[in-house]
Amino acid sequence: MRVVSGIQPTGKPHLGNYLGAIVNYVKLQDEAHAQGGQCFIFLADLHAISMPHSPAELTKNTREMVATLVACGVDPAKTVLFNQAQVPAHAELQWLLSGTARMGWLNRMTQWKDKAGKNREGQSIALFTYPVLQAADVLLYQATHVPVGEDQKQHLELARDIAQKFNNDFCDEDAPLFTLPDPYIPPAAARIMSLRDGSSKMSKSDPSEMSRISLTDDADTIMKKIKKAKTDSEPLPSEAKELDERAEAKNLVGIYAALVGKSVDDVLADHGGQGFGAFKPALGEVLIETLAPINARFAELKDDQEALDAILARGAARAREIALPTLDATYKALGLVRG
């Protein structure tokens, strides 16, 4: 079992990142550790330069993201925790895979289409080739399980396509180089939506702070944001399928279910018939209870720059070592001569 996943150190991590991905980093880290497998969690700082960014902010956010991940339960003693920029093999493998990835495949990526909008010509090349770096991230460590939210599913399908084509084109049938990675997507929290608009996902880049719960929000802020969250005026139904046409209600019930580890049906069995005047405070309480210990731990860790840098340096040294055999084998498979 090889668990690999990444998160961009841009802006403050939010509840979507937590329930969609970070909770499963911790779950799979513990499973891998128990089975003698390995877990790699990295900060996708090289991905972060695909959009306009402030270098000083990127440095600050990188350290804060390490503190957040550790506060959420990612344990540097069990997980190789690092940032891409300290492991040049990521960028190297991206280039080596660029001969295999096809323009048509990248053109079909919905994230590229969404982020580029009508101005494709004005985008950085990095934004277009971003999914090839993401493929390199996981293929480099022969990932089997990749914990992500649903928005990353298409990128992982691309990673599988690249791996398969590379294996077909450059490897013997009985000795493929790359493992095909499987996404690991949580059922209830695959896509946490904005608190202001049930049709768009909760995102770091939404201009409204009220659209998301940041993992570092305090109790009052959390309760205020939940109470102000957009909803309809109907009471909660008693069955999950009745939420299908009610995006905002569905989102809040889904968040509650993910937080307490129950199915949506079980939550509705307890809360069906309740109006939002009663359900929202209940949800706010569960959120505050979940995030309070994370917040406290984050506050302890965030200013110890030396300790945070040491975690990254140790993780990166380990990642460089483990990445080497796959990187070397890739150069060799392509016929590239290296001393």
Backbone angles phi, psi at 214, to 5 degrees: -85, 150
For residue 199, give Cα distances in angstroms to 118, 151, 193, 243.
21, 14, 7, 14
Q: Of residues 192, 226, 229, 236, which one binds ligand TYM by CB under 6 A? A: 192
Residue type present at position 317: A
Q: According to the binding rule CB under 6 A, does residue 44 interact with ligand TYM? A: yes
- In the complex with ligand TYM, which residue's Cβ is closer, 135 or 267? 135
CB distance 280 to 228 below 8 Å = no
Calpha distance 287→279 (Å, rounded) = 12
Q: Which of residues 317-336 bind ligand TYM (CB under 6 A)?
A: none
Minimum distance from residue 61 beta carbon to ligand TYM (Å): 11
- In the complex with ligand TYM, which residue's Cβ is closer, 4 or 175? 4
- In the complex with ligand TYM, which residue's Cβ is closer, 151 or 271? 151
Residue type present at position 249: A
Calpha distance 333→328 (Å, rounded) = 9
Minimum distance from residue 16 beta carbon to ligand TYM (Å): 3
Contact map string, positions 171 to 190, toward ligand TYM, x by CB under 6 A: ------------------x-
Q: Which helix or strand (DSSP H or E) is residue 324 part of? A: helix 305-333
DSSP 8-class letter at 54: -
Contact map string, positions 2 to 21, toward ligand TYM, x by CB under 6 A: ---xxxx-------xx--xx
Contact map string, positions 98 to 137, toward ligand TYM, x by CB under 6 A: ------------------------------------x--x
Encoding tokens for residue 220?
């009052």
Distance of CA 137 to the CA centre of its chain: 13
3-state secondary structure of 120: helix
Minimum distance from residue 194 beta carbon to ligand TYM (Å): 8
Rg (CA), the chain: 21
Nearest 5°: CA angle at 70, between 196 and 318?
125
Question: How many residues in the shown chain lie near ligand TYM by CB under 6 A?
Answer: 23
Q: According to the binding rule CB under 6 A, does residue 196 interact with ligand TYM? A: no
* Annotated catalytic residue within 12, 78, 165, 204: 204
Q: Is the dihedral of CA 111, 112, 116, 118 positive or negative?
A: negative
Q: Which residue is nearest to ligand TYM (CB)?
A: 20
* Annotated catalytic residue within 60, 78, 115, 153: 115
Residue with tokens 């929000």: 217
Contact map string, positions 132 to 171, toward ligand TYM, x by CB under 6 A: --x--xx-------x-xx-xx-------------------
- In the complex with ligand TYM, which residue's Cβ is closer, 136 or 311? 136
CB distance 253 to 267 below 8 Å = yes
Q: According to the binding rule CB under 6 A, does residue 229 interact with ligand TYM? A: no
Closest CA to 82 of 316, 246, 279, 259: 316
* Interacting residues of 76 by C-beta distance below 8 A, sequence separation 6+: 70, 311, 314, 315
Calpha distance 296→290 (Å, rounded) = 11
- In the complex with ligand TYM, which residue's Cβ is closer, 197 or 272? 197
Is 115 among the catalytic positions?
yes
Minimum distance from residue 162 beta carbon to ligand TYM (Å): 13
Contacts with ligand TYM by CB under 6 A lie at 5-8, 16-17, 20-21, 44, 47, 134, 137-138, 146, 148-149, 151-152, 189, 191-192, 201-202
Catalytic machinery residues: 115, 201, 204
